[in-house]
Amino acid sequence: MPEISDTMKRYKISIQGLPASNSENAALRLYPNAEIKYCSSFIEAINAVGKKEVDLAVLPYGNPLAGSVRERVGRDWTAGNGNILSPKKGEVFVVQKFLNDLEKYDLVQIEKYSHRIVHCLVGLETAEFEDIKEVWTHPMAFIQCAAFVDTYEFTKHLYEDTAAAAEFVADEGNKTYAAIADAKAAEQNGLKVFKRGIADIEPNFTDFVVFTSKENDVV
């Protein structure tokens, strides 16, 4: 964990994800007074540091159930939005661009933090658990909750972010739809929690890393 004096500073921090995402939860756990910049991809979050739009980037690195993000590149998941999990058409894997941008902007890792992730199955207030047929969430969340999802034979749909998946379910208004997301994302989108702590191993922790520029006085 950072020094107490650092945690109280109002850093500008980029994350990949939306409000109430696990990345935001981790960033605010590390730096409670932070101003968050929400990015659609890991690369956008890193570039925000390199271009001095923010002070830090807080990004997920790995999980005991799912392995590291880098290890999963190009295997069996494609997010299709420029995320580190998928290749861009006609280019090298996004992970290589991510690493290139770290070098390009002279960015360094200054912190590694293990954050507890409590995955919940969330859906409409008017629905019952028995109504759920289809589930949306981030690929890594599906990996971490594989036994639960397979037990109930839900149809799986990939989404770029757990909080975005919850927002999608709320917007669709279909009682057979659910998302795997944090309870905070459920509350924010007017959804209810059907099941809490559904990862294959509980407690479930994901490592997050903090990047900044060597020129930044955070280093």
Give the domains, in start order, of the chain with CATH numbers. Answer: 4-116+205-213 (3.40.190.10), 120-196 (3.40.190.10)
- pLDDT digits 0-9 by tens, 92-137: 345 566 677 778 888 898 998 999 999 999 999 999 999 999 999 9
CA distance 4 to 65: 31
Give the Å distances, CA to CA, from 124 to 20, 169, 198.
17, 8, 18
Is pTM beyond 0.75? Reply is: yes
CA distance 182 to 117: 8
Q: What is the mean pLDDT of residues 198-211?
A: 92
Give helix 22-30 / helix 162-172 axis angle, nearest 10°.
130
Low-confidence winner among 104-113, 131-140, 170-179, 188-197 (lowest mean pLDDT): 104-113
**What is the CA angle 203-63-106, rounded to 5?**
135
Question: What are the phi and psi torsion angles at 81 (to 5°)?
Answer: -125, 20
Is the confidence at residue 155, as pLDDT, over 70? yes
pLDDT of residue 167: 97
pLDDT of residue 9: 82
Q: Residue 94: how many CB atoms within 10 A of its CB?
A: 22
